[in-house]
């Protein structure tokens, strides 16, 4: 029996010091945990810190998109060297995996990516992932590494996803870590603080969004910190961080890929009747569409929203945006087949 897949994401504020440089002591601590957990898991590490590691090499750095791309190109080798050095002490080779959205948006490319990871694991190699910022199209970038880690976890059918943050978990109104969340609802979202680290792009709101997606697709999620001697082991054992229980999911691999890894270029708002019909595994007809947002072509993936604007799923549409708009008054025009619709 294959070992379960575990994806661990480390945020910028976790792996870097006050100057934005990678902290070697932190990397050594992560390496020790990786060495312990590798005995029972196939591991993937998604690590931020490249931009923070590289920005000090640019005079008058202002954080523009071009400067961030350049900083990432300088910082990625620095970051991966730290991991290589720390994990070498445990006999674990490291592979750098720089990805773009297109590696997830095309099913064939993603299958190739998965097969490459299988080769890594068969040979005891740890893949360390990050976005390929230098060449990523700004319109198709990952929102942050929380998204990259989540898409990776879902696509690789991981058993668990650890999102490591400097605050150690979701905090309640008294500043204490919430041990367990059964459902990400309005009350939970209300706990999110407006502030975020100056070094990272994400935040607790981002983590809750992706925790909701991953847990709804059958993956246990823990938002945790790096405190203690064995932070990841403690998080998996329920002794630290905030746990989001995995929900029952009967989706096939292709449906999970569709729900998580596809590029969404627009949105479709549905009326209540259409939402009910999709819940009964029916196809989406244009008569149930209230409005169209964005420009997309036939065969592309869009978000499905209810009348309150909540994202309820995704669909691979058979019509372009303009065709959907033109056909909204026609009852029997199919916008998306039931097999190409995934509800969250």
Strand partners, 80: none
pLDDT range class, residue 154, cuts 50, 70, 90: confident
pLDDT range class, residue 196, cuts 50, 70, 90: very low
Judged against a pLDDT cut of 90, whether residue 230 lies above it is answered with yes
Distance CA 197, CA 277 (A): 42
State mean pLDDT over 61-89: 91
Tally Cβ neighbours within 10 Å of residue 320: 17
State mean pLDDT over 187-193: 71
State mean pLDDT over 184-208: 61
For residue 39, what pLDDT is reported? 93
The count of C-alpha atoms lying within 13 angstroms of the C-alpha of 302, restricted to the half-sphere facing its C-beta, is 27
For residue 198, what pLDDT is reported? 40
State mean pLDDT over 275-285: 92
Judged against a pLDDT cut of 90, whether residue 233 lies above it is answered with yes
pLDDT range class, residue 277, cuts 50, 70, 90: very high
For residue 43, what pLDDT is reported? 98
Percent share of the chain, pLDDT over 70: 86
Q: Which of 14, 141, 130 is nearest to 73 (CA)?
A: 130
For residue 139, what pLDDT is reported? 43
State mean pLDDT over 19-25: 83
In the block, which residue shows the tokens 């569709």? 258
For residue 312, what pLDDT is reported? 81
For residue 262, what pLDDT is reported? 52
For residue 238, what pLDDT is reported? 92
pTM, entire model = 0.77
Q: Which of 47, 23, 30, 5 is nearest to 232 (CA)?
A: 30
The bridge status of strand 126-131 relative to strand 42-47 is parallel
Judged against a pLDDT cut of 70, whether residue 136 lies above it is answered with no
Tally Cβ neighbours within 10 Å of residue 101: 21
Q: How far is CA 77 from the centre of its chain?
A: 23
State mean pLDDT over 3-18: 90
By three-state DSSP, how is residue 23 classified?
A: coil
For residue 194, what pLDDT is reported? 40
- Is residue 219 within 8 A of residue 161, CB to CB? The reply is yes
Judged against a pLDDT cut of 60, whether residue 202 lies above it is answered with no
State mean pLDDT over 64-72: 87
Q: What is the mean pLDDT of the chain?
A: 84
Judged against a pLDDT cut of 70, whether residue 73 lies above it is answered with yes
State mean pLDDT over 227-241: 93
For residue 116, what pLDDT is reported? 95
Q: Which of 261, 180, 174 is nearest to 223 (CA)?
A: 180
State mean pLDDT over 77-83: 93
By three-state DSSP, how is residue 344 classified?
A: coil
| Range of lowest pLDDT (84-93, 188-197, 330-339) | 188-197
- Is residue 57 within 8 A of residue 76, CB to CB? The reply is no
Phi/psi of residue 27, nearest 5 degrees: -65, -40
């Amino acid at each position: 029996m294959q070992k379960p897949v575990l994806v661990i994401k480390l945020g910028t504020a976790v792996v870097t010091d006050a100057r934005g440089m990678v902290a070697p002591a932190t990397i050594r601590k992560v390496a020790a945990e990786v060495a312990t957990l590798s005995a029972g898991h196939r591991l993937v590490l998604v690590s931020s810190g490249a931009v923070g590691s590289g920005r000090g090499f640019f005079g008058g750095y202002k954080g523009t998109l071009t400067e961030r791309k350049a900083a990432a190109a300088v910082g990625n080798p620095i970051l991966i060297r730290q991991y290589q050095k720390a994990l070498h002490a445990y006999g674990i080779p490291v592979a750098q995996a720089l990805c773009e959205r297109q590696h997830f948006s095309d099913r064939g490319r993603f299958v190739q990516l998965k097969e490459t990871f299988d080769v890594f694991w068969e040979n005891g190699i740890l893949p360390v992932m990050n976005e390929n910022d230098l060449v990523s199209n700004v319109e198709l970038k990952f929102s942050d590494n929380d998204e990259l880690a989540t898409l990776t976890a879902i696509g690789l059918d991981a058993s668990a996803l650890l999102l490591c943050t400097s605050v150690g978990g979701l905090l309640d109104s008294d500043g204490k870590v919430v041990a367990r969340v059964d459902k990400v609802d309005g009350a939970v979202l209300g706990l999110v603080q407006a502030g975020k680290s100056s070094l990272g792009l994400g935040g607790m709101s981002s983590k809750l969004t992706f925790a909701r997606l991953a847990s709804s697709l059958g993956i246990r999620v823990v938002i945790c910190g790096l405190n203690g001697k064995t932070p990841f082991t403690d998080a998996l054992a329920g002794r630290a961080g905030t746990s989001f229980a995995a929900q029952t999911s009967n989706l096939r691999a292709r449906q999970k890929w569709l729900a998580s890894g596809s590029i969404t270029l627009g949105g479709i708002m549905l009326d209540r009747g259409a939402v009910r019909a999709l819940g009964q595994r029916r196809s989406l007809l244009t008569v149930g569409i209230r409005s169209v947002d964005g420009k997309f072509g036939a065969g592309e993936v869009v978000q499905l929203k209810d009348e309150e604007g909540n994202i309820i799923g995704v669909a691979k549409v058979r019509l372009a945006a303009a065709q959907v708009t033109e056909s909204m008054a026609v009852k029997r025009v199919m916008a998306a087949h039931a097999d190409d619709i995934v509800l969250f």
